[in-house]
Structure 1
């Protein structure tokens, strides 16, 4: 190994083994002292006369093992393009940029699109080999095309059942085994009819169809998407609240008084890079929050049990705070004393006592004060009239 040259090379290997490798990848394999990878990848290689090391389970143990080979010429095998839902980014985070180089192969997404003639730039590509199927929920709408990696062959039937259970059973699935290799097989089936067994590795292309309910992309999705014990920010007020919270990519929300989790969940639905923490003292409502978050595909919602402000200690600082329950002068004082300048705060009040606190806080600290009064048509004897909801006072301020 020449001085200053990377000791580690990450090679994307397809199901056709070394036949599909570029000349650079072949040369890197031939120069390697150690070839490391999952058993399936190693089995695709001929005898190269090099030491072979199986990547252990769990995956993190392999990083420690690889660390011990530092200074020797090591080739790590990964599937297709190692930086598209693969191991490449994890390895790159562990080792410095001068220690490794990557020689990617053809991704399974490219192979799947090529089999179907789909435009890859207009197809949703998702890695679900280690993720719950519920994370698909925000994307499910008739006409959507997606390509998914799955953990194993049995997961194809799980995917079909999941889609059928949401009313998308007529979706078309193309289940693709061992793309690019001699075992390649493509089976076309409707989601509600997946029954045969498939072998790993599996990629599934989906064209969504059916009468299932698609999640709206605007704030204020219908209340029926949430399970609730009755304590929930209702759709019109939730839409106005999300507008005031104004989520941006990468921002973190504290949702104090999580209730059913609707505010935090819609915050997370706004962009895949957003983060949210729901603070809720009641165990039954924590269960509701977790169930709603999982059902709507945002299980990344963090839930903290306890009362604010005590439960806030030690949490990563937020960009935005919503106070939907447990409002008090002490809580507001704590937030202003402990959070950095520029943090946005939105608080809703329904009772006269909490409204008075927001009016006083507005007078002392500025910001915007909004009174939301809504009425809905309802039966009034044989006719109809307006049934007013409790007014909501909303205070928005930047610390």
Structure 2
């Protein structure tokens, strides 16, 4: 017998539950849920009903660690395994100790209402994520579902879209889907003026604005910077060398504008970045660039000189490391020690002393060493000519 049973419930309450879910709750002794969810059940159950206290995370932790008694029943909105309570419970107590009874998710109900193919629609959660995450998924002619945090979310999303070139996007807000108080209204993001309504809502977006480029190598002017920037072509080569894979962690050391880490996150939607940077103005730019590109929730900035901050950093260990400038033997030693077996180390160097350091490191640790020269057309008096950038030595190694 499972210690916990998570039952998905919609805005239609008891009437919308499957026969199996009704029988399960009918046999329950203790049921936990939000006040709204418990109200949906009315007086149907004989069980002890308990509303979550705030903060819910602490109350849930206490319930999950309690011992004794029969199974405990937990209510979840919609599909418990889609950005829901079921995933949290299964991770905490083990899937073998949980039974899940799903209900159609809010996005399934929204897709059915709009006639959208759910397999082609992106989903962003403001419940667990940040408003900037919407920008990370937005792109011309792209459809998105946004899971709102509260009644103010539609206005916040509309404002963000308007301020970032997506003001012509169509927004449809669907409240209390499937329930007797269901309400649907639509408008254009740039002229959104609908007053906040129900907190239980989903936003459907048909984006109109800049195209969403997936490959690394965005134009340099896509990043605020003071010149401390890995340039477009070199950035594309660097991100490719870092080989981003799902769920991995990148340390970006001497992050500058944060462009390499940000592009790494754009092609790795489940990854995270720790950016080490000592300059306060650059730290501010890293954060604003991350917000602009919709990856701020997955990028952490560590302020301070790398020689002092890297050795004592107690956050997630890296699967990949990028050192973009100013690498020293001391800093390399700390980074190499932190990098797990099979991890990727990439370093770029412009100055001769740092280039020589990379040559020496390659002799000791192997890997690929290459010298990259890039030329671009630029004015030369009244004509144009090829202007060479400073050559860059790049070292790529596996720990």
TM interval, shorter chain, is: over 0.9
| Partner in structure 2 of residue 203 of structure 1 | 202
Q: Could you list the per-position Cα deviations for residues 302-353 of structure 1 after superposition, in whole angstroms to 9, with x for gaps in the alignment?
A: 2212333432233433222111122123333444455444232211111122
| Partner in structure 1 of residue 166 of structure 2 | 168
Find the aligned partners of 2:319 and 2:133 in 1 and give their Cα distance.
24
TM-score (norm 1): 0.93
Does structure 2 conserve the Cα–Cα contact (< 8 Å) formed by 1:279 and 1:308?
yes
Q: Could you list the per-position Cα deviations for residues 5-31 of structure 1 after superposition, in whole angstroms to 9, with x for gaps in the alignment?
A: 224321111111100111111112211
Find the aligned partners of 1:354 and 1:103 in 2 and give their Cα distance.
58
Q: 1:263 aligns with which of 256, 260, 264?
A: 260
Find the aligned partners of 1:99 and 1:14 in 2 and give their Cα distance.
24
1:261 CA drift (Å) = 0.7
Find the aligned partners of 1:131 and 1:179 in 2 and give their Cα distance.
22
SS of alignment partner, residue 167 of structure 1: coil
1:288 CA drift (Å) = 1.6
Find the aligned partners of 1:114 and 1:33 in 2 and give their Cα distance.
35
2:29 is the alignment partner of 1:30: no
Does structure 2 conserve the Cα–Cα contact (< 8 Å) formed by 1:256 and 1:326?
no
Q: 1:8 aligns with which of 4, 14, 21?
A: 4
Q: How does 1:24-103 map to 2 (within 5 A)?
A: 24-47=20-43, 48-67=45-64, 68=66, 70-103=68-101
| Partner in structure 2 of residue 229 of structure 1 | 226
2:248 is the alignment partner of 1:251: yes
1:283 CA drift (Å) = 2.1
2:231 is the alignment partner of 1:239: no
Find the aligned partners of 1:179 and 1:338 in 2 and give their Cα distance.
48
SS of alignment partner, residue 332 of structure 1: helix
Change in Cα spacing, 1:95 to 1:368, as seen in structure 2 (3 Å) is: closer
Q: How does 1:134-173 map to 2 (within 5 A)?
A: 134-173=132-171
Q: How does 1:184-203 map to 2 (within 5 A)?
A: 184-197=182-195, 198-203=197-202
Does structure 1 conserve the Cα–Cα contact (< 8 Å) formed by 2:124 and 2:133?
no
1:41 CA drift (Å) = 0.7
Find the aligned partners of 1:366 and 1:252 in 2 and give their Cα distance.
23
SS of alignment partner, residue 163 of structure 1: helix
Q: How does 1:328-339 map to 2 (within 5 A)?
A: 328-336=328-336, 339=339
1:165 CA drift (Å) = 1.3
Does structure 1 conserve the Cα–Cα contact (< 8 Å) formed by 2:318 and 2:338?
no
Question: Which stretch shows the higher mean deviation, 144-153 or 352-361?
Answer: 352-361
Find the aligned partners of 2:35 and 2:173 in 1 and give their Cα distance.
23
Find the aligned partners of 1:183 and 1:103 in 2 and give their Cα distance.
24
RMSD: 1.9
Unmatched segments (≥5 aa) in structure 1: none
Q: Could you list the per-position Cα deviations for residues 132-187 of structure 1 after superposition, in whole angstroms to 9, with x for gaps in the alignment?
A: 22111122111111112101222111111111111111111111110000000111
Question: Which stretch shows the higher mean deviation, 81-90 or 268-277?
Answer: 268-277
Unmatched segments (≥5 aa) in structure 2: none
SS of alignment partner, residue 41 of structure 2: coil
